[in-house]
């Protein structure tokens, strides 16, 4: 009888220890060497999400990096809802504390909500920012064009980013260069170079544009498609592969399938590089983002810049379907407004409003 009682107590103690160990090792955001990182505690997941009443913070590892995703930016400390997602399934949820993090030591890429147009601000750590396209700017008229607001100019002034390294106009369509004119015509701004698809100063296909701070941009294509004397202005877009450590983001301007095939023919896109973010071409047009191109890129995140209520039907349902079929997460400025990416080269964080 005594032996049975001892055995029962031992089993109870063992069960209690296992339960306690499991509870103590549940996933959490922990402070390690001054950095808030995710301790996943063995859970399988594709991304971690922090949210409060206003914003969503997605934490993702670059490619197949073993590095635990870190909180690279958080404007105010406090308690957040933490979710671990494996595909579309939520596998864990809890409340957790995260302190404030400035994000100053990371590359920041902003997909600015300029309505129906493209506009990206690239801020390398410790260096001058650069700009890729600018939306309609003051040339717009309708709400889906931004209503004539100088959205890019106002944002740069608000952030004190008046000294610019590169202004890059991917191609000469109003929804890409309009907002750039607001900058170049304002004496408050200075810039080192204005580059478009006809600029002699733009590096050639396969060559590198140095943004500073360890951030580089390989030119994937620009100008006429090889062998095509009637290349459209959209297909003449400057396309860039932006790289910082293991983080890669592809900018495609407004290229259609001809421009995409031209990029594939160069051999500059390597599937082993595990592309983190694709700027979806031409605001999600059905004539862009071909199945062949998407299968070569397989982006973790696809960003679409488009204006709510635009008359072009952007983004097209066909394109959304092709993107979804690759397993890519789709983020749209017409739904999320401005979207910020922060990366330390090992992991990256996405910040947007709910």
Is 323 a member of any domain? yes
Is 36 a member of any domain? yes
Find, among 168, 174, 109, the residue nearest to 137 by Cα.
174
Same structural domain, 160 and 204: yes
The pLDDT value given to residue 164: 98
Same structural domain, 305 and 323: yes
Is 7 a member of any domain? no
Q: What is the CATH number of the domain that holds 262?
A: 3.60.15.10
pLDDT in tens, the chain (354 residues): 555 444 444 444 444 443 333 445 799 999 998 899 999 988 988 889 999 989 999 999 987 666 889 999 998 889 999 999 998 899 999 999 999 999 889 999 999 999 999 999 999 999 999 999 999 999 999 999 999 999 999 999 999 999 999 999 999 999 999 999 999 999 999 999 999 999 999 999 999 999 999 999 999 999 988 777 788 999 999 999 999 999 999 999 999 999 999 999 999 998 778 899 999 999 999 999 999 999 999 999 999 999 999 999 999 999 999 999 999 999 999 999 999 999 999 999 999 998
| CA atoms of 123 and 100, how far apart (whole Å) | 20
Same structural domain, 128 and 187: yes
| CA atoms of 93 and 209, how far apart (whole Å) | 42
DSSP 180-228: HHHHHT-TT-EEEEEE-TT-TTSPPTT-EEEEETTEEEEEEE-SSPTT-
The pLDDT value given to residue 205: 95
Kind of pairing, strands 89-98 and 78-86? antiparallel
Structure-block tokens of residue 146: 């931004």
Query: How many structural domains is the chain composed of?
Result: 2
The pLDDT value given to residue 98: 96
- Please, which residues have CB within 8 angstroms of residue 305's CB and are 6 or more apart in sequence? 111, 113, 114, 117, 118, 119, 279, 280, 283, 332, 333
The pLDDT value given to residue 42: 87
Q: Which helix (H) or strand (E) holds 240?
A: strand 239-244
Q: 71, 98, 125: which is the final residue of a domain?
A: 98
Find, among 102, 130, 124, 107, the residue nearest to 345 by Cα.
107
- Please, which residues have CB within 8 angstroms of residue 46's CB and are 6 or more apart in sequence? 60, 85, 86, 87
Same structural domain, 111 and 73: no
This prediction's pTM: 0.91
| CA atoms of 270 and 83, how far apart (whole Å) | 32
Determine the structural domain holding residue 197 and report its residue range.
107-353
Same structural domain, 257 and 142: yes
Same structural domain, 345 and 292: yes
Q: 98, 121, 145: which is the final residue of a domain?
A: 98
Is 3 a member of any domain? no
């Amino acid at each position: 009888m005594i032996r049975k009682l001892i055995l029962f107590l031992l089993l109870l103690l063992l069960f209690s220890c296992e339960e306690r160990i499991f509870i103590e090792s549940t996933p959490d955001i922990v402070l390690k060497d001054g950095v808030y990182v995710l301790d996943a505690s063995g859970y399988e997941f594709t991304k971690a999400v922090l949210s409060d009443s206003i914003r969503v913070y997605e934490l993702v590892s670059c490619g197949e990096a073993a590095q635990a995703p870190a909180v690279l930016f958080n404007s105010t400390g406090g308690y957040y809802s933490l979710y671990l997602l494996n595909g579309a399934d939520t596998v864990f949820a809890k409340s957790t504390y995260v302190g404030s993090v400035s994000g100053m030591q990371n590359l920041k890429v902003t997909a600015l909500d300029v309505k129906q147009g493209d506009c990206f601000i690239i801020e390398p750590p410790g260096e001058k920012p650069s700009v890729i396209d600018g939306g309609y700017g003051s040339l717009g008229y309708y709400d889906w064009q931004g209503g004539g607001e100088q959205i890019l100019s106002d944002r740069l002034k608000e952030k004190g980013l008046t000294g610019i390294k590169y202004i890059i106009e991917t191609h000469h369509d109003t929804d890409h260069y309009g907002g750039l004119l607001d900058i170049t015509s304002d004496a408050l701004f200075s810039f080192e170079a204005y580059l478009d698809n006809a600029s002699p100063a733009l590096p050639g296909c396969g060559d590198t544009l140095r943004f500073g701070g360890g951030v580089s941009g390989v030119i994937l294509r620009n100008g006429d498609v090889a062998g095509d004397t009637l290349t459209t202005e959209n297909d003449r877009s400057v396309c860039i592969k932006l790289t910082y450590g293991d983080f890669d983001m592809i900018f495609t301007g407004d290229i259609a399938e001809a421009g995409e095939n031209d990029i594939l023919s160069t051999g500059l896109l390597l599937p082993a590089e595990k592309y983190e973010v694709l700027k979806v071409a031409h605001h999600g047009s059905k004539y862009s983002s071909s199945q062949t191109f998407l299968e070569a890129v397989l982006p973790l995140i696809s960003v679409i810049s488009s204006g709510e209520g635009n008359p072009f039907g952007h983004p097209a349902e066909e394109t959304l379907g092709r993107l979804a079929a690759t397993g890519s997460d789709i983020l749209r400025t017409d739904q999320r407004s401005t979207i910020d990416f922060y990366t330390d080269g090992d992991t990256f964080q996405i910040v947007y409003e709910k």
